[in-house]
Amino acid sequence: MDSNTLIFKESFISTENDFAMHSGTSNSFALEYPVHSDREYIGFCMEGYAEIEVNLIEHTLLKNEIIIISKNQIVFHHKISDDFKFILLSYSNEYLNEFVIDIRKYPPFFVLFRQRFPSFILNKTEAEQILDFYNLMWKAAQNVQNDYKRDSLKHLLSSLLITLHWYANKNVDNPAPTSRKHEIVHEFFTLIFKHYKEAKDVSFYADKLCVSPKYLSTLVRRETDRTPKDCIDNYVILESRVLLNSSFTIQEISQQLNFPNQSFFGKYFKKHTGMSPLNYRKHK
C-alpha cells in the first residue's frame, strides 16, 4: 500500500488482499493527516465519538453509528474521544465484483447519497445484529482449517450489505422531496470531486449547473456556511496534503493538480496553509 492510503495501526485479520477486519480504541484509528481510502470500508462505532471529515463534510460519529467510506474518498479526523471503540471491515472492489450479482437488487447504501454524510445510526436491536455479523466474520476469518473461508466470508459480507441496505432505507419509504436548491448544492460538490484538478473557478461550476455564480454562492453559503470558492480550494488543499504524504515530487504533484507550474502551486498552497509544500512535507 502507498503511504497515502487509509491504513490502521492495529493488527488485523485478513484474507490476502480481499477482505480485512480491524478493531480497536482511539489510538488505533488516529490519522495524522488527510488520507485517501484505498478500498471500501464499513465502520461501526461501539462507544465514544469521533469528529471526522469525509470529502469536505464534517460529522461527529456517535455510538451505534455505521459509516460507509468508499474508495478514493479523502478522510481525516479532528478529534477522537478517549473511550472511542470502533470496528472496521474493508474489502476490495475485485472482491465485491465477485458477489455483486447477489446484491444487484439492493444498491448498497444508495440512501446515504441523499444525506450530507455517509452514515446512519442503528437502534439497539439492529446494532446487536450487526455485531453478530462481525463476530461470525471474525470467526470465519480466523479459521485457518476452513478451505472455503474466502467464499464463506464473501457470502457473509453479502448478507451484511443487504441487511445494512434494509436498515438504511426502511424509514425512508416515502422520503421528503428534495428541493432543487438542495440538488444544486449536492451536484456542485459532485462536480468538485470530478473536476477539481482542471477547474478551480466558481464560474466553471456555475456554468455546469446552469446558474449564476452569485446564485450558486447564495445556495452553498446557506448549506455549508462557506463560499463555493472556499469549498473548491479546501478540496484542492486536502488533495495536495494527501499527495505531499506520498513519494511524488512537488513538481509531479503540481502537474497532477493541473497548476501552470510548481511555483504557482507553491504560492497557492502557502496562501491556504501558511507554509510552502516543502515545509509541509518536512514537518508533517
Q: Which pLDDT value is given to residue 35?
A: 83
Range in 110-124, 145-159, 195-209, 250-264 the model is least confident about: 110-124
Q: Where are the domains of the chain?
A: 13-169, 180-283
Residue 251 has pLDDT above 90, yes or no: yes
Q: Residue 144 is which amino acid?
A: V
- Give pTM, 2 decimals: 0.66
Range in 57-66, 92-101, 151-160 the model is least confident about: 92-101
Q: Which CATH class is domain 13-169?
A: mainly beta
Mean pLDDT, rounded, for 13-37: 76
DSSP code per residue over the chain: --TTB---SS--EEETTTEEEEEEEGGGG--SS-EE--SEEEEEEEES-EEEEETTEEEEE-TTEEEEE-TT-EEEEEEE-TT-EEEEEEE-HHHHHHHGGGGTTS-TTGGGGGSSSSEEE--HHHHHHHHHHHHHHHHHHH-TT-TTHHHHHHHHHHHHHHHHHHHHHTT-SSPPPPPHHHHHHHHHHHHHHHHTTT--SHHHHHHHHTS-HHHHHHHHHHHHSS-HHHHHHHHHHHHHHHHHTSS--HHHHHHHTT-SSHHHHHHHHHHHHSS-HHHHHHH-
Residue 164 has pLDDT above 90, yes or no: no
pLDDT digits (tens, 9 = 90+) for 43-90: 999 999 999 888 778 889 999 999 988 777 888 888 899 889 898 888
Residue 267 has pLDDT above 90, yes or no: yes
Question: One fold for both 13-169 and 180-283?
Answer: no
Q: Which CATH superfamily is domain 180-283 in?
A: Homeodomain-like (1.10.10.60)
CA distance 192 to 186: 10
Nearest to 188 by CA among 211, 165, 169: 211
Q: Which pLDDT value is given to residue 119?
A: 86
CA distance 134 to 123: 17
Range in 89-98, 153-162, 252-261 the model is least confident about: 89-98
pLDDT digits (tens, 9 = 90+) for 189-219: 888 888 999 999 999 999 999 999 999 999 9
Q: Which pLDDT value is given to residue 110?
A: 40
Q: Which pLDDT value is given to residue 4?
A: 46
Q: Which pLDDT value is given to residue 269?
A: 94
Instruction: Give the angle 125-128-134 at the CA atoms, nearest 5°.
Output: 145
Most confident of 18-27, 73-82, 96-105: 73-82
Higher pLDDT, 241 or 28: 241
For residue 189, CA distances in Å to 24, 205, 211, 223, 259 come to 32, 9, 15, 12, 21
Q: Which three cell numbers stand for residue 273?
A: 496553509
Q: Which three cell numbers stand for residue 148?
A: 472455503
Question: Percent of the chain beyond pLDDT 90?
Answer: 32
